Structure 1
């Protein structure tokens, strides 16, 4: 068996497929297999579909062996290609968080939301036509739900904080969580001899730091050995990355509240200061983690994350719900 160059065997019959979204090693879809049956967890965008299907074929599996397509949430870098992928998987059902299911059955509002953040042209060029999933092929998840891949159980729990339509999946065999964006982002370019580096994803529009902190603590109760974030691929040394994540989350919140106090009415100036705050916090955390890349290299790799994190934090501040108690666990 020869896997495509963009697919990595992570052991335990789990495969990370680089979707090619934005840049290499930025966005992953996962293929989980047991007893000749399969599931995709996250799909990337439409352009990723050939990679997903080619990996399936390389593993000697036909398209009718896929029982589930499971987006962790419905943001388009995770689920934008789910509808088109489903057209090639005759027996698959889509397992979607109940707050997100209607947006993949009828993607219009989802696409409009992406256009508001990224712009009409960028969404068209990046995602193409987001295809709907027929309602009869959609199953809504619920907290504590368990599904089988062959004889392999995957347990889903509700994990708001990054988005209210987010669930994570527990795989007992690898003792790992498929975390989508709930447990943040960890790019392999930042790995050091001490281990990986991880930071929160606070992108628009449903960032909620209290809910996010509670979701992280709930994930940690399982004592996971590994995480499978969408951005990007398997992460070990979970206690270390959890400490990094929670420290940065606290810094984002305290920094955001300070910026709001300085700019209570000037939203344009507040947006600029939030970007500076996020960039400074990330760079300081990277240095503390032992990352030796030059500042310019670190910030170049994080450019999109800085912008989107600042935007999401600004939305949270604008909702009027941001308060000092969000800094406590």
Structure 2
């Protein structure tokens, strides 16, 4: 396991080796009087998180706040397990996420519907969080970690209804979770800053995603801290790529819904994936990204899940008339 990365501004990034893959999902450590971390990853990543804290010479008992941008299990599934090692920590969550951390049965069922037999390897166990250790932050609420650093919580639906993004006054950056997509740092060595939308089921709404992105862009952040994965110091890239790719994702779905109207949801999602991967692959090839890049495997995995979310969204749109 690699040493946590010092991102400057008293922020460290611990690689959680989610999916046993480096640079996939990360935990941000905010080194302040009130020590805080943002994101835990899934339970199988908690040992990596704890090892990262050890490398930073941090006693888990000193952590005051564990913050999750949203409650999808790849971001927050490990909270219950981590909390057992952090006796003095409180968990900060979106208002619509609180009850699901306290009683995660619906969260588990939803993830099993998406990941099937892979669920246990990816996420198990998902432990409940005691209600008395949960703090809700409404839109616009703040959390002061020191005289120099205050976090502001912003309701940013689109990827999920239980999602907030977090503006950090000290770094003038935003922790965006999945709101404006996934960043692929594997491509930086090839000279490409590359992001794609995250449209996973089952609360994806493209209009809300674009509105949330616009709200964050108006803050004029100097850097973006992605849940997947790492820091981007050119935020304009992320916002422009979201506006470029999101309509293409939806259009690919709409085409499949028309052409394969009688197909199963699984068949439609497979067709959307094939269309999206072909387009993304062509884009990367045009940028001279070698086929040996490890980014391709991660992008394929993401596009499979994104395709399911697109079909789910369009099916609901059809049913609602």
What interval of TM-score do these two structures reach, taking the shorter chain for normalisation? over 0.9
Is structure 2 residue 166 aligned with structure 1 residue 144? no
Q: Which residue of 1 aligns with 2:275?
A: 277
Q: Which residue of 2 aligns with 1:117?
A: 114
Comparing 294-303 with 207-216, which one deviates more in the overlay? 294-303
Unaligned runs of 5+ in 2: none
| 1:252–1:281 CA contact under 8 A, matched in 2 | no
| 1:316–1:322 CA contact under 8 A, matched in 2 | no
TM-score, normalised by the number of residues in structure 1: 0.90
Unaligned runs of 5+ in 1: 324-329
Q: 1:312 to 1:167 in 2, by over 3 A?
A: same
- Tell me how far apart the structure 2 counterparts of residues 114 and 284 of structure 1 sit (CA, whole Å): 31
| 2:187–2:293 CA contact under 8 A, matched in 1 | no
Q: Deviations over 1:71-130 (max 9, x none)?
A: 1111111011101111111221111111111111011111111111111x3211222211
1:163-242 to 2 correspondence within 5 Å? 163-191=160-188, 194-242=191-239
Q: Deviations over 1:114-153 (max 9, x none)?
A: 111111x321122221111100110111000100223320
TM-score, normalised by the number of residues in structure 2: 0.92
Q: Give the superposition deviation at 1:161.
A: 0.5
Q: Which residue of 1 aligns with 2:311?
A: 314
Q: 1:6 to 1:59 in 2, by over 3 A?
A: closer
- Tell me how far apart the structure 2 counterparts of residues 182 and 291 of structure 1 sit (CA, whole Å): 28
Q: Which residue of 2 aligns with 1:128?
A: 124
| 1:224–1:238 CA contact under 8 A, matched in 2 | yes
Q: 1:269 to 1:222 in 2, by over 3 A?
A: same
- Tell me how far apart the structure 2 counterparts of residues 263 and 182 of structure 1 sit (CA, whole Å): 30
Q: 1:262 to 1:155 in 2, by over 3 A?
A: same
Secondary structure of the equivalent of 1:126? helix
| 2:183–2:194 CA contact under 8 A, matched in 1 | yes
Q: Which residue of 2 aligns with 1:47?
A: 44
| 2:186–2:293 CA contact under 8 A, matched in 1 | no
Instruction: Name the count of aligned residue pairs.
Output: 317
| 2:184–2:295 CA contact under 8 A, matched in 1 | no
Q: 1:6 to 1:230 in 2, by over 3 A?
A: farther
RMSD of aligned residue pairs (Cα, Å):
2.1
Secondary structure of the equivalent of 1:255? helix
Q: Which residue of 2 aligns with 1:293?
A: 290
| 1:67–1:149 CA contact under 8 A, matched in 2 | no
